Amino acid sequence: MKPHVHDPVEVLVIGSGFAGSTMAAELAEAGFDVLTLEAGPERRLRDMVSSQIWARRLKWAGPPVVEEGDLVGAANFGMGWGTGGAALHWYANWYRFHEDDFKERTLFGRGLDWPIDYEDLRPYYDRAQVYVGVSGDLSQDPWAPPGDPYPMPGLPEFPQSAAIRRGFEALGVPTAPNPVAVNSERYQNRPPCIFDGWCDAGCPIGALANPLVLQWPKALRAGARLEHDAYVTKVTTDASGRRATGAEYRDAQGNLRFQPADLVIVACHTIWNSRLLLLSASAAHPDGLANGSGMVGHHFMSHPIVTIYGLFKEPTRPYVGILGANLLSQEGYDNKEPAPGAFGSRSFQAGQAAKPNDLLGWALAQPDLYGQALDDYLRKASEHFGNMTVLCEETSVFENRIELDPGETDAYRLPAAKVVNNIPEQNAIRLELARTEGLAIFHAADTSKLWASGRNPEHLLGGTVMGDDPDRSVTNAYGQTHEVDNLFVAGASLFPTSAAVNPTATLTALALRTADYLRHQRAALLP
C-alpha cells in the first residue's frame, strides 16, 4: 500500500505527553516548523470529569502490552491516551535526582552511569520548576540537591499528613513539605489548587500543571501543529540508514500516511519509544532503528513501591488534598547500601488524598473485606484513613527489557510490546527494609490499625538509555541517537538509572536541555 505523502516539516515530534509537548513548545517558540503526531484522541479540559470511574477513559487504550516478571503491571494504569498522554492524570510529584543517582556504576559497581552529572542538569532543573510552576519549601528540605528555591510556597499541610507526620516526629525522622507541580497560589494565569483530590481524573482548572494548560497553548500559539488519531508505525531513514526521513502512520480511518521531516523526535511513553525503534527495522538497521548496539529495549526499570496504610485515631479527611504526596522524607536516601545485601535509595511520600473506589482508593486497600465488614470499614476509613508510598529504586540491568512479541499484535498485525522485568534481589531486600521502616512510622503515629500492601511497580523507565559509549547506550547526553544524527528520543526511556524519585522533573529538565541543543545545532541538523 502506498502511503499518502504530506508536505515536509522541519521537526516531527511523535507523542504529545509531557516530554513531547515540552519539545514542541520550546522548538516552535524558537522558530522551528513543528508537527506532533499523537496516537490517541484529542482531549479537552471538559473530559476531566471528577470521577474515578469516568477518569478511566484518560488511561491507556492503545495496543496491548504483554508483561512478564515479578515487577510488572503498571502499564495500563500509568500510561495515558490522547493529548497530553499520562500527564493528563499524573500526580505532579516533583523531585530532582540526587548527585549519586547519576554515577551508580562508578560509585557502587552497579547499573549504569549517566553521561552527565547533576551539575550538568542543575540549570535545567532550575528552569523546569519555573516553567511548570512548583510549590515547595527548600528551607525545610535538607535532602534536596543544590538548586534555586521553588517559585511558589509549599502547599498547606492536610489533616492526613499531620497525623502521619507525628509518627515521623516520634521516631526523630525529619519531614518536609512535598514539592509538587501544583499551584499553591495563582501562577502564570493559572489558579491555585482547591484540594479536591481529583488529580487522577485530570485538573481542568490547570492548578496542577498539565500539557493542556501549559505546553500545548504555548506550542499552538507559536505555530506548532498537533494531529490526533495518528498512530506512528515506523520511523523511516534514507537508504544509507544514517538520516531519518520521517514517519509512517495510520490515521483514524486506518489509511497509511507518510510525514517527511528533517528532524524526528520520538517522545512516546517509555515502552512505545523502544517498540517504535524496534518496529522501524530496515536493511540498514536490521535489529531496529539505532540499535546497532543491541541496547534498544534493554535496561528497562520500574520503581518498586509498597504502600503503608493506617486508620488513625484522629480524623484525617483523606478525600481532601492532592494525589501527589503532601509530606516527604528522604532521610537516608543517599545511603544506597543501608544493610548487607540491600541496595538502593528510598523516599517516603505521605498523605496522598484518596477516594473510596478505584485502584488507589481506600476500599482496595483492604481487598479481603466484603459485605457488612466492607461497609463498616469504608465508613471508618472515610474519616480516619491514611496512606504513604514508600518508593525504592530498581537497579538498571540489561536483562530487564522491552521487546517485540509476535504472538500478540495490534490492529495492523504489528507485534505488541512485551515488558520483561524482574526485580534484582538487592532491590527487593531494600524494599522489605523500607516496608518495616514505613510500618514503624505508622505505628508511632497513633494508628488504631496499620497494614502494608504487597510490592507493586510504579513508573516505566529506560529502554533507550543515554550514554557516552555507543556500544552500551542508544543515545548521547542530548537524546540524539548514536547512529542517526537527526533522530532524537525524549522522555524517561532515556534514564540509565531510576533513582528513588518520580521521573517528570528529570525528563522535563532533559527536554529543555535538548531543546537548547537543537536551537544551537539547528544549522548543522537541518538541511
Partner 1 sequence: MTNRRAHGGSRRSLSAVEDRAEPTSRRAFLARAGVGVAALGVAGCVSPAGLAAAHGRPPKRLRVLSKGEAATYGTWCDVLAIGAAKAGVAFFVDKYLAEPFPDSLLLIRYLQNPPFTDFYLGGIAGIDQESEARYSKPFVTLDDARKKSVVEAAVTSSTIAWTTPNPNFFYFVSRSDAVDVVYGTVAGFRDLRIPYLPHIRPRQPW
Q: How far apart are CA 356 and CA 347, in angstroms?
A: 25
Residues of span 375-404 touching partner 1 by CB under 8 A: 375, 378-379, 382-383
User: Whose Cβ is closer to partner 1: residue 50's or residue 282's?
Assistant: 50
Report the chain's C-alpha Rg in angstroms.
22
User: What is the β-pairing status of strands 256-266 and 9-14?
Assistant: parallel
**Strand partners for 13:** 36, 265
Give kind and range of the element (H or E) at residue 384. helix 371-384
Residue pair 350/328 in contact by the 8 Å Cβ criterion:
yes
Phi (first) and psi of residue 472, to 5 degrees: -125, 15
Residues of span 115-174 touching partner 1 by CB under 8 A: 137, 139-140, 142, 153-154, 156-159, 162, 168-169, 171-174
- Least distance to partner 1, CB of residue 205, Å: 6
Q: How far apart are CA 82 and CA 43, in angstroms?
A: 6
- Least distance to partner 1, CB of residue 56, Å: 5
User: Whose Cβ is closer to partner 1: residue 109's or residue 367's?
Assistant: 367
Give the DSSP letter of residue 13: E
- Least distance to partner 1, CB of residue 140, Å: 4
Q: Kindly tell me which residue out of 116, 132, 176, 219 binds partner 1, with binding defined by CB under 8 A.
A: 176
Phi (first) and psi of residue 372, to 5 degrees: -65, -35
Size of the site for partner 1 (CB under 8 A): 77
10 Å CB burial of residue 142 (0-12, 13-18, 19+) is exposed
* Spacing of C-alpha 110 from chain mean position: 23
Q: Compose the 315-354 pattern: x for residues touching partner 1 by CB under 8 A, - for all others.
A: ----xx----------xx----------------------
Q: Kindly tell me which residue out of 32, 97, 195, 300 binds partner 1, with binding defined by CB under 8 A.
A: 195
Options 83-91, 193-201, 279-287, 519-527: segment touching partner 1 (CB under 8 A) = 193-201
- Tell me: does residue 439 bind partner 1 (CB under 8 A): no
Q: Kindly tell me which residue out of 367, 407, 454, 527 binds partner 1, with binding defined by CB under 8 A.
A: 367
- Tell me: does residue 279 bind partner 1 (CB under 8 A): no
- Tell me: does residue 188 bind partner 1 (CB under 8 A): no
User: Whose Cβ is closer to partner 1: residue 107's or residue 320's?
Assistant: 320
- Least distance to partner 1, CB of residue 26, Å: 29
Q: How far apart are CA 388 and CA 377, in angstroms?
A: 19
Q: Compose the 440-459 pattern: x for residues touching partner 1 by CB under 8 A, - for all others.
A: x-------------------
User: Whose Cβ is closer to partner 1: residue 393's or residue 483's?
Assistant: 393
Could you tell me where the DSSP H helices lie in 483-525?
A: 504-520, 522-525
- Least distance to partner 1, CB of residue 344, Å: 16
Residues of span 1-40 touching partner 1 by CB under 8 A: none
User: Whose Cβ is closer to partner 1: residue 440's or residue 526's?
Assistant: 440
Phi (first) and psi of residue 125, to 5 degrees: -60, -45
Q: How far apart are CA 238 and CA 289, in angstroms?
A: 12
Q: Kindly tell me which residue out of 188, 282, 357, 521 binds partner 1, with binding defined by CB under 8 A.
A: 357
Q: Kindly tell me which residue out of 359, 399, 471, 520 binds partner 1, with binding defined by CB under 8 A.
A: 359
- Tell me: does residue 363 bind partner 1 (CB under 8 A): yes
Q: How far apart are CA 527 and CA 518, in angstroms?
A: 13
10 Å CB burial of residue 11 (0-12, 13-18, 19+) is buried
Residues of span 33-92 touching partner 1 by CB under 8 A: 41, 46, 48-54, 56-57, 59, 61, 64-66, 73, 76-77, 81
- Least distance to partner 1, CB of residue 464, Å: 23
- Tell me: does residue 198 bind partner 1 (CB under 8 A): yes
10 Å CB burial of residue 206 (0-12, 13-18, 19+) is buried
Give the SS3 label for residue 262: strand
